[in-house]
Amino acid sequence: MKIGILGGGQLARMMAASGIPLGMEFVFVDPAADACAGAYGHLLTAEWDQAPSLEDLRGCDRISCDFENVPAEVLDALVEIAPVRPGPNAFAAAQDRLTEKRLFQRLDIPVPPFAEVSSRADLLEAIDAIGLPAVLKTRRFGYDGKGQAVLRSKEDLEPAWRALGGRDLILEGWIDFHHECAITAVRGADGSIVCYPLSWTVHADGILRLALAPAPVAPKLESRAHELVGRLLSELDYIGCLTLELFATDQGLVANEFAPRVHNSAHWTIDGSVTSQFENHLRAVCDLPLGNTAMRGQALMLNWIGQVPPMEDFLRVPGLRWHDYGKSARPGRKVGHATLVAEDRRDLEAGLVGIVDLVDDQTASLLKGEMTPLG
Ligand code: AMP
């Protein structure tokens, strides 16, 4: 099977790393000549919406994406070449926060209160209805906390309005969550669905820093997350891997957004699960049976942001696995991750004692916040 992937970043790279043992070949389309997936297949250096490069995807048996902002019309055109999985409908829904929130509402998936904002008058009206604090977000192209501003008082309105471009915005009520979490699930072409255990996610400055799985939650919450993501997958007639990001509140789970692709919050599945999210995504895309999502114990993933730390000392920690994406260092950029896998929570905490002294201060303090015995 030859798989064409739009986007050649770390997600494409990890997909390929898991697909090559299954005999798959990969072609990536990316504007960057040094796109890091290139080490694992043929890289077409071109804007992914330029016709000649997309024509080069002829010969692929399947087409998939490593990011969600591929214009839906580009995907629609590619359907002529090979099955595009997940389908363009999932991208259209995920690319616009307003469409996405309305879809959640229709499926009875709880969402923060929200309102469309296209003018200053809309914004004032939305604040009257929703109250402060609230989050003003661009409807499109936001990621890792970019394209949004928290409004705490009326003084914040004007700067936020201007910073976000003053059009095509959405205002969301502030959710007082006690934790953030994410559920990753995979739906096969035959409609079968497998779910990974819920991940506990920790962000700083809008960027995911840690993920812990299984999340230490009651089984009822876990099954609720499975039910919600299942509803979304079935409604979209989805094929592939999808992650639904959720806020855990005292009133239950509230949906933030979904990603129609493999997701950072489930990178721990490479080392912590029988079958990784990347392999299961490809299995679904290629009509193969889905793999076992059971965990091999407890897993904690640490993201490397900006630059990869020197790995030698980390490699001394038993159960630690290292993933360098081969990207150049740049502030705020996701350049790698490490996963610690242990049989139980006690062993995981024991392993982390060795790690806390090696990581930067911010990561250490986030870790201490999550793992009480380290604090
Ligand atoms: P997003 O880009 O929508 O995933 O937002 C990035 C981060 O901002 C989330 O992971 C949350 O930590 C925070 N955030 C976004 N929306 C809200 C909200 N309505 N209430 C509280 N925090 C939010």
Cα–Cα distance, 229 to 109 (Å, whole number): 9
Residue with the two structure tokens 């949906």: 255
Q: pTM of the predicted model, to two decimals?
A: 0.96
Record the tokens describing residue 256, joined without a space. Answer: 């933030």
- Locate 260 and state its tokens: 């129609």
Structural domains in the chain, sorted by start: 2-84 (3.40.50.20), 113-173 (3.30.1490.20), 179-374 (3.30.470.20)
Residue 216 and residue 61 in contact, taking contact as beta carbons nearer than 8 Å:
no
| Beta-strand pair 134-138/114-117 | unpaired
**Could you identify the atom of ligand 1 that is nearest to the CA of residue 142?**
2
Q: Residue length, the chain?
A: 375
How big is the CA angle at 357 (ends 339 and 215), to the nearest 5 degrees?
A: 40
CA–CA dist 9, 332 (Å, integer)? 15
Cα–ligand 1 centroid distance for 190 (angstroms): 34
Report pLDDT digits (tens) over 322-360. 999 999 999 999 999 999 999 998 999 988 988 999 999
Report the DSSP pairing between strands 2-6 and 25-30.
Answer: parallel
d(CA 345, CA 277): 22
**Residue written as tokens 């793999």?**
291
Q: Name the residue among 82, 167, 80 with its Cα closest to residue 123.
A: 167
Q: Which atom of ligand 1 is nearest to the CA of 177?
A: 21
Other C-beta atoms lying within 10 Å of the C-beta of residue 361 = 7
pLDDT digits (tens, 9 = 90+) for 279-300: 999 999 999 999 999 999 999 9
For residue 172, pLDDT over 80 is answered with yes
Query: pLDDT by residue (tens digit) across 190-212?
Result: 999 999 999 999 999 889 999 99
Q: How far apart are CA 90 and CA 16, in angstroms?
A: 22
| Residue 132 backbone dihedrals phi, psi, to 5 degrees | -120, 150
CA 256 to ligand 1 centroid distance, Å:
7
Q: Tell me what the mean pLDDT of segment 22-39 comes to.
A: 96
Residues within a 6 A CB radius of ligand 1: 112, 135, 142, 145, 172, 174-175, 180, 203, 206, 245, 256-257
Of 256, 258, 263, the residue with max ligand 1 atoms within 8 A of its CB, to mutate for a pocket test, comes to 256
Q: Which of 220, 221, 133, 143 is nearest to 182 (CA)?
A: 221
Atom of ligand 1 nearest to the CA of 97: 3
